[in-house]
Chain A
């Protein structure tokens, strides 16, 4: 696809000398900051995923052609508002969509040459829980209240790894220690209700990483937690990724959490990915008006609050009957006539940065020069 974009013509980050030099990795000790790192083979590649649900009101098209890939040892954040299909996307990968009423109408998710959506058991090993671990938003409802925490973690290892009971339990205590739960041997004997929300989320992370998965899916892992506990859990995820080398798919609507953890970001709207790229690109050179709108709707840290909070007016489209053209058309401040009728094709904004929007699309008949110029200056 053509390299030409309107924005490439402008200065990438006017007035910001740090722009190009700023490393987008959190640990300065790691020298792997070469731009080519995007080209390494994907660990998990999701292609053209479509998911529908039958309801009384009709068929809800929750996910409409989602494709993304996860790089080994990296964190992909999937961002979007409630109902945009981000949770349904990862639940399809995990085989957690109730069918019926759900239906995966098409799409594949390849992990090491295996399509995990259609082939969940390989040589007696269930990929779910073993190669891919998952943690959920609400720690309180993710555990069995009638089993001790230690037994629940041990059970995972007995089922997936064939450990004996005592081996599994010993490993469970070790895992609780790895997630920095104080006095892990004592805590393992306790029931979930004794744990605070933050401690329970740690225990659930311990359970999810018990089988040393290649990928950890974290669906809103900190939404139910206070900001101080959130910081602790994010630190823990960061640390575990560094020690185990697992990839993380992080589902969230909190852009602060994204900035903190993500290497790559995919922005979802109305069942589609509207923009994806590196975290740095998406925060500082975003190309889709929705991404821009999300950022402007959150108060940042800049001392001049007169710049104001920009609300995105309106509401997401009706998923019973998604619009024929761009799903963001009705709320987009830059909408053009073309957007109403034709679904924007994905184009490459810059290497490994893709957007589905007509505004800067090379094939688009209209040019809006310099529309996003100066965006980077706000920081």
Chain B
């Protein structure tokens, strides 16, 4: 399996005046293989969305490279670059209310990409729009309606049709279900899954719902304060987290079962995610980490390769400097305590 999207040292800083710099994404390297769904999790402010947008050129890159299908993408997109890549890389946005132009009909919204990037005639575009409305579970005669006439779940379907009508190879889904009700979330996730397998899509699925990300994705990547801190096969990361932050993050995720919830000890992380302004050296989680060592405060840990049951795992933590062979046995999953021992 080859990597379709390769981020190497991708960095995005924002200047906020007075010489202050927000380190939104710092030196992030992540490969996304063809026909794979990588789930990206982390707290708000950890840089998940910025990373996703930087991959697609919606943010200029401060440093680092993104390779897509063998080509290196430009650090700063020009209109011609958008023209060139828009049909191959698409994004599905979080908020189905603000991501659709309220003054365009649903048909215009879905067909706009084809109008700009293809030579199809109006009639052909209309036909494809109708076809896609059906594929996402809407009716062709919805094309003449406006976004406000639809519910949140239906709008998200429009957003999906808008992105996928371009037949992209790679899609970034930025929290596509966070704004939706539980029963509708499942509908959208299933729809994405069906389209993924029928179209052979590669996806970056950004979300903060850990259970859902584990369900959806093949591999899971965890970000903290702009850095990638752990990546591996979803079930491995979810049931046997290695980085102390991942462990605490997954332990904080309440399970829909009172027997588990009432029986377990609380694992709430002390404190809150610090500000990403002017970050210094050392591990970024050091200030909150229950297993902090002196080296953590001075040296930024690289991604160490750790042996794993079902696939490769990389963990940015000094505890795993030697491949995890001597990692303390205390590092084991909270989330998986209910039968993760598969």
- A interface residues (Cβ-Cβ under 8 A, vs B): 18, 22-26, 81-82, 196, 198-199, 226-232, 234-235, 253-260, 262, 279-280, 283-284, 293-303, 305, 309-313, 315, 379
Given the complex, which residues of B lie within 8 Å of A301, measured CB to CB? 211, 255, 257, 260, 335-336, 338-340
Given the complex, which residues of A lie within 8 Å of B255, measured CB to CB? 256, 259, 300-301
Least CB distance from B183 to A in Å reads 4
Ranked nearest first, the 7 interchain pairs of A and B with the lowest CB-CB distance are: A256-B254, A255-B256, A312-B183, A231-B252, A311-B186, A299-B215, A297-B186
Question: Is the pair B185, A297 in contact by a Cβ cutoff of 8 Å?
Answer: yes
Question: Is the pair B248, A302 in contact by a Cβ cutoff of 8 Å?
Answer: no
Residue of B183, B186, B259, B339 most packed against chain A (CB within 10 A): B183
Question: Is the pair A231, B339 in contact by a Cβ cutoff of 8 Å?
Answer: no
Knowing A230-B252, A280-B258, A309-B186, the reply to whether A298 touches B268 (Cβ < 8 A) is no
Choose one: A23, A231, A258; the contact of B256 (CB below 8 Å): A258
Given the complex, which residues of A lie within 8 Å of B211, measured CB to CB? 256, 298-301
Given the complex, which residues of A lie within 8 Å of B210, measured CB to CB? 227
Q: List 22 A-B contacts (CB under 8 A).
A: A18-B259, A24-B262, A25-B262, A226-B208, A229-B43, A234-B254, A235-B266, A256-B211, A256-B254, A259-B254, A259-B255, A260-B261, A260-B262, A279-B258, A297-B182, A300-B211, A301-B260, A301-B335, A301-B336, A311-B184, A315-B184, A379-B338
Question: Is the pair B181, A81 in contact by a Cβ cutoff of 8 Å?
Answer: yes
Question: Taking the complex as formed, is B277 at the interface, i.e. its CB lies under 8 A from any CB of chain A?
Answer: no
Knowing A298-B211, A303-B339, the reply to whether A262 touches B258 (Cβ < 8 A) is yes
Knowing A259-B254, A260-B254, the reply to whether A22 touches B259 (Cβ < 8 A) is yes
Bound complex: CA of A379 vs CA of B257, how far in Å?
A: 8
Bound complex: CA of A309 vs CA of B190, how far in Å?
A: 8
Choose one: B44, B190, B260, B269; the contact of A259 (CB below 8 Å): B260
Least CB distance from B255 to A in Å reads 5
Question: Is the pair A226, B44 in contact by a Cβ cutoff of 8 Å?
Answer: yes
Choose one: B151, B153, B272; the contact of A198 (CB below 8 Å): B272
Given the complex, which residues of A lie within 8 Å of B186, measured CB to CB? 296-298, 309-312
Question: Is the pair B235, A253 in contact by a Cβ cutoff of 8 Å?
Answer: no
Given the complex, which residues of A lie within 8 Å of B258, measured CB to CB? 24, 258-260, 262, 279-280, 283
Nearest neighbor of B41 in chain A, beta-carbon distance: A227
Least CB distance from A344 to B in Å reads 20
Question: Taking the complex as formed, is B212 at the interface, i.e. its CB lies under 8 A from any CB of chain A?
Answer: yes
- B interface residues (Cβ-Cβ under 8 A, vs A): 43-44, 151, 153, 181-187, 189-190, 208, 210-212, 214-215, 235, 239, 248-249, 251-262, 266-269, 272-273, 335-336, 338-340, 342
Nearest neighbor of B45 in chain A, beta-carbon distance: A226
Least CB distance from A79 to B in Å reads 9
Least CB distance from A55 to B in Å reads 15
Knowing A81-B183, A297-B183, the reply to whether A231 touches B151 (Cβ < 8 A) is no
Knowing A228-B248, A311-B190, the reply to whether A259 touches B256 (Cβ < 8 A) is yes
Given the complex, which residues of A lie within 8 Å of B262, measured CB to CB? 23-26, 259-260
Bound complex: CA of A265 vs CA of B215, how far in Å?
A: 26
Nearest neighbor of A222 in chain B, beta-carbon distance: B254
Nearest neighbor of A238 in chain B, beta-carbon distance: B266
Knowing A227-B252, A228-B249, A297-B183, the reply to whether A256 touches B261 (Cβ < 8 A) is yes
Given the complex, which residues of B lie within 8 Å of A256, measured CB to CB? 211, 253-256, 261
Least CB distance from B221 to A in Å reads 16
Bound complex: CA of A234 vs CA of B262, how far in Å?
A: 12
Given the complex, which residues of B lie within 8 Å of A199, measured CB to CB? 272
Least CB distance from A29 to B in Å reads 13
Least CB distance from B166 to A in Å reads 26
Residue of A81, A196, A235, A259 most packed against chain B (CB within 10 A): A259
Bound complex: CA of A200 vs CA of B265, how far in Å?
A: 25
Given the complex, which residues of A lie within 8 Å of B249, measured CB to CB? 227-228
